[in-house]
């Protein structure tokens, strides 16, 4: 299993976070979904890269989503 992280915009309450979590969990192969609305972060595990499906599913609920990037670039210049 690989870990994947996404930023999610417009989450303002626990209800928003619940909708985001449900949308991510609806994607086949996704497990261990955790949503942190304060950090605007969605993390999950999957054996195959679910990024495009997760982005589509969560964004369709009204919460713009993208793959979280930047951390590795800052640390390693990747």
- Higher pLDDT, residue 78 or 1: 1
**Average pLDDT score over residue span 61-70:** 88
Burial of 71 (0-12, 13-18, 19+ CB in 10 A): exposed
Whether the Cβ atoms of residue 6 and residue 58 lie closer than 8 Å to each other = yes
Residue given tokens 């997760």 in the structure block = 54
Q: Is this model's pTM higher than 0.95 or not?
A: no
51-60 helix and 14-25 helix, angle to the nearest 10 degrees: 140
Per-residue pLDDT tens for 3-17?
999 999 999 999 999
CA distance 35 to 68: 13
Question: Can you give the residue range of the structural domain that contains 70?
Answer: 2-76
- In the chain, the number of structural domains is 1
CATH number of the domain bearing residue 43: 3.30.70.100
């Amino acid at each position: 299993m690989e870990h994947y992280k996404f930023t999610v915009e417009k989450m303002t309450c626990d209800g928003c976070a619940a909708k985001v979590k449900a949308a991510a969990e609806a994607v086949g192969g996704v497990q261990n979904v955790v949503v942190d609305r304060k950090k605007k972060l969605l993390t999950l595990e999957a054996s195959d890269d679910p990024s495009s499906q997760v982005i589509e599913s969560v964004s369709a609920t009204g919460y713009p989503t993208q793959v979280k990037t930047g951390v590795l670039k800052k640390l390693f210049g990747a």
